Amino acid sequence: MAVQFETAVRMLAYLRTNSPVELKTVAEVFDLKPAQIRRYCTLLNEARIGDFYGQNADVEIQDDEDGVWIETRDSLGLDKQMRFTPDESIAIIGGLKYLEAMPFLVEQKTVAELLLKLQSTFATTDSIIDIGVNAVNPQIVAMLKDAVSAHTCVEIEYGAAIDQKVTQRIIEPVALQANEGVVYVRAFCRSSEAMRTFRVDRILSAEALTEPGNSQETVSSDFSINSPNIQTRLRMLPEMLESFAPETVTDVTTVENLIEATVSVTNAAWLTSLVLASGGDIEVLSPADLREQVVHKAQKWLQASAEIDLDQSKQGETWAIY
Amino acid sequence: MAVDNTMRQLNLLLVLMNSKRPLTRSDIFNRVSGYAPFETEKELEAAGRKFERDKTDLRQYLVFNEVSPSGDKQSTYSIDLEQSFFAEVDLNEDELILISLATGAWRDAHLGQSAAAGALIAGPEYRGGSNIFTAMGRDERYLKPLEQAIVQKLIIEFEYYSRNSNETKVRKVEPWRLVLHQEHWYLFGFDYEREAELLFRLSRINGEIVITKNPILNPNPQDTNPIEIIREFQRTETQVQVARVRVPIADCANLRLLAKDFDESPAGDVLSIEYEDAYTLSREIALVCDRVEVLEPPALKERVTNLVNKVLAVHQ
């Protein structure tokens, strides 16, 4: 097992300032296995100021009935954390900037003040990450936040991305999630009688209800999708791959500047719409009926447009006569 | 061996921290186990090489002072405690939850390991302290090498597909910033080919990013907002235009979300959509082209027809 200098120093300081601390907590903080924490503790116990001083650190693991605890009586003066490295600083500042970019979720002023307070902990205070968040209606977010806290229901008018249909639903919100700058609400949907994740920027309108929710779901941060059941082979520009969840894409090959991939999707209508909006950047290779659906929808537009043009030109003639 | 090295470096740190005065190399060799033996000249050279390596490693995390006096006197070494360690920060519970959310945002992402250090301030007990969850950069493997190149201020090279020229070429770039906009990640930097500031969409990068040993020459322009550059690039109209489109009742949600106003009619709702970016709006209309009607302006309708024709050209 690799023993890292940075981890050893950080752990000794952490153990001293938090002594006594449960081993499983230390494992969570350092993202290591309990066995690895034990190994570090054994080694740290052998850390010494040196032959000249002859003093050792004092780190002891105690297996009690109520868990495994680590007691640190002496860390030889090492009881402060090293400043975060540039990598660590940038990641943590980036995370805070991400929150700051969502004033409807978190108060910007609080994040700005926190960044100032944390200045002495960072090796660099440069922010190299810029965040642009998708616009949402702040009143709707505030209503959803209140409903989460008060365990009440909200009636929403929702535009599903899968088929663009607008439906009325009563939901019981349990949490808000921000994923890649997009805000979602996790809620029990009474229409579907199941837990669902809704994009907040697709809520057309919302009304707070006083009715209490009774959803029992444990809050989780999963962004689950329905099981895909349609397998399709697509040829596309590489960047179009972003349109699909990575776990639904397999068998990717590159042909010149294009890629071919097998993609599993849940809804054919959604895929054909996406292909139409791509303006030729995605081609359906198979199945054949899906390819036909794309052609059919495209022809429908051309036909309707031609008819309207014809109507308008006839109208023009009429005006000319009168 | 790796364990021995780590323990020697830890002991070196403890010795330097506990010394009231800067120490010479001989002092350090006598006080830190792991450098001995150093009786012969060869052994002393080997110990010296270990010490040089340790200094380099420690400097990644700590401010390690080395003073070289003139004359025959030996150099002395010390750790700048104030610069190397952070003072205790007084944080309230809300602030600790914010740090936990900020570090949690990178969980399972390529910067997750670096962000995890935030748990040293806000431990696992603050996870789930709010009803908000955050996530970003999960599927973006280029974030880590780009972040490292930006921190080290080194020029990078990568293969990039250009939509304008429809070709993939190796680009040489001075990396400055990472940008997340409308669910896409970009690199903002100085491009040697165009000799200009440019944004690169990470999904158009092909293969690996090579971090060269050459330092960047142009400083990061702090007063430039890359997100504004993207927005400006997306703007196709010189002033705000209004499109009128007819959509079926309870359908075409993507267009309804963009509408400022709508009129009901038996044939469907007529939406008024203000726009400056005809490129994006035409794609939104193409998404539901089998059931939408563009009433005006004709130029927008033509854009949609062009898109649809391109789809047909590929599929027929």
pLDDT tens profile B150-165? 999 999 999 999 888 8
Check A165 against B250: CB less than 8 A apart.
yes
Q: What is the mean pLDDT of residues B175-202?
A: 95
pLDDT at residue A312, rounded to an integer = 54
Given pLDDT bands bounded at 50, 70 and 90, which one contains residue B131? confident
Residue A90 and residue B9: Cβ atoms within 8 Å?
no
The CATH number of A5-74, from 3.40.720, 3.30.43, 1.10.10, 1.10.3470, is 1.10.10
Contacts of A295 in chain B (CB under 8 A): 312, 315-316
CA distance A147 to chain B (A): 11
Q: How many Cα atoms sit within 13 Å of B23 on the Cβ side?
A: 22
Find chain A residues with C-beta within 8 A of B135's C-beta.
Answer: 177-180, 221, 223
* CA-based end-to-end distance of chain B: 65
B104 and chain A in contact, CB less than 8 A: yes
Bridge partners of A212, per DSSP, are A152
- Nearest CB to B251 within list A83, A120, A166: A166
Residues β-bridged to residue A254: A259
Calculate mean pLDDT across residues B208-222: 95
* Chain A touched by B188 (CB under 8 Å): yes
Which tens digit of pLDDT belongs to each residue from B274-290? 999 999 999 999 999 99
Give the pLDDT of residue B236. 87
Cross-chain Cβ contact B11/A130 below 8 Å:
no
Nearest CB among B87, B102, B284 relative to A95 is that of B102
Q: Choose between B38 and B302: higher pLDDT.
A: B302
pLDDT in tens, B74-127: 899 999 999 999 988 899 999 999 999 999 999 889 888 899 999 999 988 898
How confident is the model at residue B167, as a pLDDT?
85
Nearest CA in chain B to A148: B131
Domains of chain B with CATH codes: 2-84 (1.10.10), 89-139 (no CATH), 143-225 (2.30.30), 241-315 (3.30.70)
Contacts of A213 (CB under 8 A, 6+ apart): A147, A151, A152, A153, A172, A173, A174, A188
On the question of a common fold for A138-212 and A230-298, the answer reads no
pLDDT at residue A186, as a whole number: 94
Choosing among 3.40.50, 3.30.70, 3.90.1200, 2.50.20, the CATH entry for A230-298 is 3.30.70
B 265-284: CB under 8 A from A: 283-284
Say if CB A161 and CB A243 are below 8 A apart: no
For residues B228-250, average pLDDT: 92
Closest partner residue to B102 (CB to CB) among A83, A96, A239 is A96
Of B150, B232, B138, B180, whose CA–CA distance to A131 is shortest? B180
DSSP 3-state of B139: coil
- Closest residue in A to B145 (Cα) is A87
> What ranges do the domains of chain A cover?
5-74, 86-121, 138-212, 230-298
Q: For residue B2, what pLDDT is reported?
A: 74
The answer to whether B302 and A309 are in contact (CB under 8 A) is no
B147-160: buried (b, 16+ CB within 10 Å) or exposed (e) per residue? bbbbbeebbbbbeb
DSSP-assigned states of every residue in A250-319: EEEEEETTEEEEEEEES-HHHHHHHHHHTTTSEEEEE-HHHHHHHHHHHHHHHHHHHHHHHHHHHHHHHH
Give the one of B106, B184, B305 whose C-beta lies nearest to A91's C-beta: B106
Amino acid at A3: V
Testing the interface with A: which of B133, B148, B197, B285 to mutate, by most A Cβ within 10 A? B133
Calpha distance A186→A172 (Å, rounded):
8
A–B: how many Cβ contacts below 8 A?
A: 371
pTM assigned to the model: 0.86
The reply to whether residue A28 touches residue B62, judged by beta carbons under 8 angstroms, is: no
How many whole angstroms separate alpha carbon A37 and alpha carbon A41? 6
Confidence of residue B187 (pLDDT cuts 50, 70, 90): very high
Residue labelled with tokens 């390690």 = B64
Q: Which are the contacts of B237, defined by CB distance < 8 A and separation ≥ 6?
A: B275, B276, B277, B278
**Inter-chain touch A128–B227, beta carbons under 8 Å:** no
Tell me which chain A residue has its CA closest to the CA of residue B163.
A237
Q: Which residues contact B124 (CB under 8 A, 6 or more apart)?
A: A25, A28, A29
Average pLDDT of the residues of chain B: 92
pLDDT tens string, chain A, 322 residues long: the values are 678 999 999 999 999 999 999 999 999 999 999 999 999 999 999 999 987 788 999 999 999 888 899 999 999 999 999 999 999 999 999 999 999 999 999 999 999 999 999 988 998 888 899 999 888 999 999 999 999 999 999 999 999 988 999 999 999 999 999 999 999 999 999 988 889 999 999 999 999 998 887 765 544 444 444 556 899 999 999 889 988 988 899 999 988 889 999 999 988 999 999 999 999 999 999 999 999 999 999 999 999 888 765 555 544 433 332 2
CA of residue B253 relative to chain centroid, distance = 33
Rounded to two decimals, the ipTM of the complex is: 0.88
pLDDT at position A320, please? 33
How far CA A145 is from CA of A112, A150, A151, A200, B155, in Å, comes to 22, 9, 10, 11, 44
Q: Looking at the complex, does the CB of residue B18 fall below 8 Å from at least one CB of chain A?
A: yes
For residue A27, the SS3 value is helix
- Topology of domain A138-212 in CATH is SH3 type barrels. (2.30.30)
d(C-alpha A218, C-alpha A231), whole Å: 32
Look at residue B128 and tell me whether its pLDDT is greater than 90. no
Distances (CA, A) of A218 to A151, A164, A298, B100: 13, 29, 44, 19
Structure tokens at B140: 């973006």
- For the segment B197-213, what is each residue's pLDDT rounded down to a tens digit? 999 999 999 899 999 99
